[in-house]
Chains A and B, each alone.
Chain A
């Protein structure tokens, strides 16, 4: 073994000491970076776990909403089908009512026409009766006038008669006037005879006209009322048709919605499955990061031990340098 001046070893030991210092720094940096990386990975893993939990909650909410949607869509479809049956029946009823109203309108229209015809005929009969009465009255008035004239002539004739001293009637005989008066009276009596019948006929005709007018008024009123019902029936048919369209649309919409709701439930089921898988992945990541944490902690512990060792080594090397620097006998080996 070569014998050297121990002081010549000072640079060697200083070099070793420097090497140890650099190593210590490098090891510390590597350990710190590793620990920082570990914390960052754990932070992200925790974030992923939180995100997966949130996704699971959301997917569960989606499933609940989808179940609600399926249930509501089913109810809506049932309601729509019921509504469709109901409005279809209502439409049939409305059409039936329209038919009845139209039949009644036709009936009252016929009745009104008949009543108008009856009234016109009654009015004609009344006119005829009135004309007949007026004619008879004219005849009667002429007979009265003739009777009055005959009576005047007879009175004038008899006024010219007188009784002579012997008690005999003198003057015109007035036979002709008397006959004429008798004839006029007979004529007036004859003219007078049909008058009550004619008046009764007029009265009867007036009664018939009145009754026909009343019936016509009634028929017109009924006709107006039935027309209102026809209009109301048309409205009902229109409303029912519209309701029927609405019910058909709502049934179609409800059917589509139910199909979509089942699809949404499938999507929600898949979302729950995805979220469950994400949770599982997050748990795996947590387990792996825990394993990495253990490795990092072990590394940290060894680095600490190494630091302690290097501190001791450096101190010892430092002491040895001191000893070597102060040594002045190169023949003595340290």
Chain B
């Protein structure tokens, strides 16, 4: 699976997490409504004790959890955005580097070929020189 595919999968998970958080928000609101209804129904001192001791701290904590979840969601969203940038930059750099390696190796091969051709030409020149020396020696031997 490529990083791009992984990113798509992460996006799905992000939607799941957001959906869970929305569900939790809805549940919190429903619970708040239930608590309000219960307060209206049960408004004596004992009830206040129950609400003060067990329900209100939980509500406060739920608020904190909701806030933290949103904060985490924002941080994850930012992290995901940076990660996406990093993935895109990495994929781009990798493609560019792969192309650069191939190009450089091709050019290096071409340079080796050019060098071989130049050496062949030089060898041929040396052979011609040797031949010319031999011809001149033979001509000198033939004389006039």
Chain A interfacial positions (CB closer than 8 Å to B): 1-4, 6, 9, 12-13, 15-16, 19-20, 22-23, 26-27, 29-34, 36-38, 40-41, 43-45, 47-49, 51-52, 54-56, 58-59, 61-63, 65-66, 68-69, 72-73, 75-77, 79-80, 82-84, 86-87, 89-91, 93-94, 96-97, 100-101, 104, 107-108, 222, 225-226, 229, 232-233, 235-236, 239-240, 242-244, 246-247, 249-251, 253-254, 257-258, 260-261, 264-265, 267-268, 270-272, 274-275, 277-278, 281-282, 284-285, 287-289, 291-292, 294-296, 298-299, 302-303, 305-306, 309-310, 312-313, 316-317, 320, 333-334
Q: Which residues of A contact B35 (CB under 8 A)?
A: 16, 19
- Residue of A47, A55, A251 near B118 (CB, 8 A) is A251
Q: Which residues of B contact A48 (CB under 8 A)?
A: 3, 83, 86-87, 89-90
B121 with A250: CB separation less than 8 A: yes
Q: Least Cβ distance of A255 to chain B in Å? A: 9
Chain B interfacial positions (CB closer than 8 Å to A): 3, 6-7, 9-10, 13-14, 16-17, 19-21, 23-24, 27-28, 30-31, 34-35, 37-38, 41-47, 50, 53-55, 57-58, 61-62, 64-65, 68-69, 71-76, 78-83, 85-87, 89-94, 96-101, 103-105, 107-108, 110-115, 117-122, 124-129, 131-132, 134-136, 138-139, 142, 144
Per CB-CB distance, the 9 closest pairs between chain A and chain B, nearest first, are A243-B124, A65-B104, A292-B75, A62-B100, A87-B125, A250-B117, A247-B121, A313-B54, A83-B122
Q: Least Cβ distance of A67 to chain B in Å? A: 8
- Contact A19 B122, CB 8 Å, known A90-B132, A267-B103, A310-B58: no
Q: Which residues of A contact B97 (CB under 8 A)?
A: 55-56, 58-59, 61-62, 271-272, 274-275
Other contacts beyond A101-B139, A249-B117, A291-B75: 5, CB < 8 A: A52-B90, A59-B96, A76-B115, A233-B132, A287-B82
Q: Which residues of B contact A288 (CB under 8 A)?
A: 75, 78-79, 81-83
- Residue of B13, B21, B46, B89 near A52 (CB, 8 A) is B89
- Contact A302 B65, CB 8 Å, known A80-B121, A257-B111: yes
A84 with B121: CB separation less than 8 A: yes
B65 with A27: CB separation less than 8 A: yes
B20 with A76: CB separation less than 8 A: no
- Secondary structure class of chain A's binding surface, majority of residues: helix
Q: What residue in chain B is nearest A241 (Cβ atoms)? A: B128
Q: Which residues of B contact A96 (CB under 8 A)?
A: 132
